[in-house]
Homo-oligomer: A and B are copies of this chain.
Amino acid sequence: MNRLFHYPLSPFSRKVRLTLAEKRIEVDLVEERYWEQDPDFLRRNPAGKVPVLRYGNRIMADSTAICEYLEEVQPNPPLMPRLPEARYEVRRLVAWFDDKFHAEVTCKLLGERVFRKVMGTGYPDSANVKAGARAIKEHLDYMTALLEQRRWIAGNDLSLADFAAAAHLSCLDYISDVDWNRSETVKDWYAKIKSRPAFRSILADQIPGFPPPAHYADLDF
């Protein structure tokens, strides 16, 4: 059986979970407190991060490399367009969310408000939380600008870029850090993606000590 070592509020794990579910690839989910650097886990992935996928007899790390691999071995339903220009745009936006959004928003809000407590690394730094709260507004505006020109984040079809974006936003929504009133456009996009069957397991996540708000799993939020 395929197995995904993940952490529920890791956006990189969520991106891979969404991709696996959309492509109907069954996996056992194994929660991994990766920051404890268990030697067995480090043997599987010397980078020491989640997600790690055991796929057949292969052990795979790096969420983007995993998603590109899954797209190549299981191309249906497609999460990458055909044309090089459109594929470029998907990859640019996956990197946008996994690098820029992650550094400016996810680390500053989720990192300070949840991971510090879970990992036992002290109290939230309020300057970081403030910076994250400011940055998410700009990112929602950027997403609005994109979604006003296209049906999905990177083009007219659902792609890995939507899953990257939704992975980060869903983690932040778990701690009520997304102001859905800021953009009707982004809210509509999130409602569409949230109602996909692939999203179900993510909406059922529970972190001990951090109960999700009622709207988190509500498709009609």
Contact = CB atoms under 8 A, between A and B. Distances in A.
Contacts of A91: 62, 64-65, 68-69
B92 A72 contact: no
A109 to B, nearest CB: 20
Contacts of A99: 47
Interface stretch (A28-36, A82-90, A121-129): A82-90
A85 B55 CA distance: 11
In the complex, the count of this chain's copies comes to 2
A73 B100 CA distance: 26
A62 B142 contact: no
B88 A68 contact: yes
Contacts of A60: 88, 92
A58 interface: yes
Decide if the interface of chain A is mainly helix, strand, loop or mixed.
Answer: helix
B88 A47 contact: no
Which 8 pairs of residues, A with B, have the shortest CB-CB distance? A65-B91, A72-B84, A69-B88, A65-B92, A62-B95, A62-B92, A73-B84, A65-B88
27 contacts: A46-B142, A47-B96, A47-B99, A47-B100, A58-B85, A60-B88, A60-B92, A61-B92, A62-B91, A62-B92, A62-B95, A62-B96, A64-B91, A64-B95, A65-B92, A65-B95, A66-B88, A68-B87, A68-B88, A68-B91, A69-B84, A69-B85, A69-B87, A69-B88, A69-B91, A72-B84, A73-B84
Given A61-B92, A62-B91, 12 more contacts: A58-B85, A60-B92, A62-B92, A62-B95, A62-B96, A64-B91, A64-B95, A65-B88, A65-B91, A66-B88, A69-B91, A72-B87
Interface of A: 46-47, 58, 60-62, 64-66, 68-69, 72-73, 84-85, 87-88, 91-92, 95-96, 99-100, 142
